Structure 1
Amino acid sequence: MTTLQIADELNKNGWYQKKDGSAIQAFQIHGRTRNYANIFDRDGSTVSLIGQSKTKVVARTTDKPKATKQLPKAASTHTKTSFDPISNADTTILILGTMPGDKSLELGEYYGHSRNRFWKIISTITSNELPLIYSDKKALLLKSKIGIWDVAHKANRKGSLDSAIEDEEPNDLDSFISNHKNLKVIGFNGTKSKSLFDKYFDRKSGIKYIALPSTSPANTGIDFENICKQWRLILTK
């Protein structure tokens, strides 16, 4: 079956329901099945169980499992949505986070928490003064040919910790990469960003991928000098 057919069957029969009550999407089936290569054969958008022919899997059975009646779930009060990317045609470096923290969402700004070290790191490694207002921060990124976005477009998350992210839906990073012809480096701001990217996307040849220590206030295990040393790797030619 294709990932779209699988998603349609799950939604129609109510065999699985997301916490926010929204429909399961084909890309989510794609992301889940790629994590179980010992169970599923994948050929483009077609998924089959290992050891079963595609014909057998694609054929619809006449005796469907009886769907159990489920009470509708209330929409999550912790559903959060990320911002649009900051980038332009000259962007050569893309920094990916997971999704904005609660303080950032409140302010409508990337890395808005006063103790998040992102903006101080960027100004330091690019040898610029630390901007004080958000418009100047965005201008610094574009001048430095750095873009920023998040892997998750939408997710359920109570609080701001990456470990609390559930039922995420990814941004369309494949299109972003295709539309930014000068992109050479993708840096992951923290381990969760990297794991979410690898869950939903394949890495492209010609792009250097770099795992970076998180700039989050929760990451207290690395001092400023050493975190800057690692973040300078994104500037490597």
Structure 2
Amino acid sequence: MIDRGFPYSANRDAKVFILGSMPSVKSLVKAEYYAHPQNAFWVIMGDLFDFDAALPYEERLVLLRESGVALWDVAHQCVRPGSLDSAIKMESVVANDFETLFKTHRHIRAIFFNGRKAEELYRRLVLPTLASEFQTIEQYLLPSTSPANAAMNRTQKLASWKKVRDTLENS
């Protein structure tokens, strides 16, 4: 079965992009980014941008957008049995159209990858296709907020993810 991701969530004046690989099965079913209850993403975003992670999904998206944060995934579609990034069939991945997005969101200054697979997909499938002006956008690998990343606890993940807020404050 082919999994298809979500549209991006971004205001025109977004300054940073957080990119995942592909929504989990739980996220696809709920039609929400980072919907798995054990995924630390929304708790971390709430800590960074001072909102309650238990707010309704649409309100959380609005608060992120108002903070200058855009969300998307590198893969538009792929074949992936289950939810693990390691199960993504690389030959099946179709990347999202970042060239068009960057042309319409000219304030993006940094890309933050939510885990190594998102970074790998972007570097392999997207970066070589971009115009040179978009290849120079700063890129940062952050630890995955997924519960599959059990090597770090939530506090350790939050410490790394503070780079997102710091980048926004310094832009």
User: 1:148-227 to 2 correspondence within 5 Å?
Assistant: 148-166=71-89, 167-202=92-127, 204-205=135-136, 207-227=137-157
Tell me how large the CA RMSD over aligned residues is.
Answer: 1.2
The 8 Å contact of residues 210 and 234 in structure 1, kept in 2 or not, is answered as no
Cα displacement (A) at 1:127: 2.5
Cα displacement (A) at 1:116: 0.7
Gaps of 5+ in 1: 1-77
Gaps of 5+ in 2: 128-133
Partner of 1:3: none
Partner of 1:138: 61
Q: Secondary structure at the match of 1:112?
A: coil
Name the amino acid aligned to 1:204.
Answer: Q
4+ residue segments displaced more than 3 Å: none
Q: Secondary structure at the match of 2:135?
A: coil
Q: Which has the larger radius of gyration?
A: 1
Q: Secondary structure at the match of 1:178?
A: helix
Name the amino acid aligned to 2:97.
Answer: D
The 8 Å contact of residues 83 and 149 in structure 1, kept in 2 or not, is answered as yes
**Residue 93 of structure 1 is aligned with which of 16, 35, 45?**
16
1: distance between equivalents of 2:152 and 2:63?
A: 25
Q: Secondary structure at the match of 1:221?
A: coil
The 8 Å contact of residues 11 and 66 in structure 2, kept in 1 or not, is answered as no
Cα displacement (A) at 1:132: 2.4
The 8 Å contact of residues 40 and 147 in structure 2, kept in 1 or not, is answered as yes
Partner of 1:233: 163
Q: Secondary structure at the match of 1:201?
A: helix
Cα displacement (A) at 1:95: 0.4
Kindly indicate which of the two structures has a greater share of residues assigned to helix: 2
**TM-score (normalizing by structure 1):** 0.65
The 8 Å contact of residues 212 and 231 in structure 1, kept in 2 or not, is answered as yes
2: distance between equivalents of 1:184 and 1:131?
A: 29
**TM-score (normalizing by structure 2):** 0.89
**Residue 119 of structure 1 is aligned with which of 20, 34, 42?**
42
Cα displacement (A) at 1:133: 1.0
1:104 corresponds to 2:27: yes
1: distance between equivalents of 2:51 and 2:28?
A: 26
2: distance between equivalents of 1:145 and 1:151?
A: 19
2: distance between equivalents of 1:189 and 1:159?
A: 18
The 8 Å contact of residues 74 and 95 in structure 2, kept in 1 or not, is answered as yes
Name the amino acid aligned to 2:25.
Answer: D
1: distance between equivalents of 2:126 and 2:83?
A: 24
